[in-house]
Amino acid sequence: MNQPASAPTLGTLELFTALDRPELLGEPVRDALAHPDGQLDQVWVAPIDAELADTAVFCERYDVPLEVSANCVVMSGKRSGEQRWAAAVILATTRADVNTVVRKRLDVRKVSFAPMDEAVTRTGMEYGGITPIGLPADWPILIDAAVVGAGPVVIGAGIRGAKIVIDGATLAKLPGAEVIEGLAV
């Protein structure tokens, strides 16, 4: 399979259309991309060494600038005994404003990053590969405005052995997505 002509170029990643390489996607990601509402027709996937999935190491090895690498972090908090979940998508050069922006959006007293085992169980994705595509339908997906404006960005693919490349503006079309100015600092 050759790299499609219209694929973006990011570092040394060898990109394929995601639907042509479903084995490079976590099951929830495959399911989301196969959904008939699929406005995600410009999704690319690249195989990577699973040992190099963590952002800083990945960017260095595959010559991908941190400025176009986006992280998806899972957070939760409680309100009146109800556990509330969300994902935040931010550029790797920033950090989520958890204690102000995310806490207020979830309307909880305290919000925290989900423990690894719980994040994996609730998303059905591998730790280090969690992505906003295919998250539980009732979770808000909070996307920093800088991600939307970044053009093509690299995100997880649901597994550690691959990365997705997608235009940041396309992420804003995901079900449950909310673009938030100042989500990241």
Tens-digit pLDDT profile for residues 126-179: 999 999 999 999 999 999 999 999 999 999 999 999 999 999 999 999 999 999
Q: Per the domain annotation, does 143 fall within a domain?
A: yes
For the cut 90, the answer to whether the pLDDT of residue 34 exceeds it is no
- Residue range of the domain that includes 85: 16-180
User: Is residue 6, in this structure, part of any structural domain at all?
Assistant: no
> What is the reported pLDDT for 67?
95
User: Strands 16-17 and 44-47: what pairing?
Assistant: antiparallel
Could you tell me if residue 7 is left (phi over 0), alpha (psi between -120 and 50 degrees) or otherwise beta? beta
Residue 11 in any domain: the answer is no
Domain count, the chain: 1
- Is position 1 within any domain? no
Mean predicted confidence (pLDDT) in 77-81: 90
Residue 41 has a CB neighbour count (10 Å cut-off) of: 10
When the pLDDT of each residue in the chain is averaged and rounded to a whole number, the result is 91
The values of phi and psi at residue 46, to 5°, are: -130, 130
3 assigned to some structural domain = no
Which residues, in sequence order, are bridge partners of residue 73? 88
| pLDDT on residue 1 | 45
Token pair, residue 171, equals 């992420």
Instruction: Round to whole Å and give the CA distance between 16 and 114.
Output: 31
Report the CATH number at residue 112. Answer: 3.90.960.10
Q: Is 118 helix (H, G, I), strand (E, B) or coil?
A: helix
* Residue found by looking up tokens 């609730």 in the block: 122
**CA–CA separation, 160 and 74 (whole Å):** 16
CA distance 51 to 168: 25
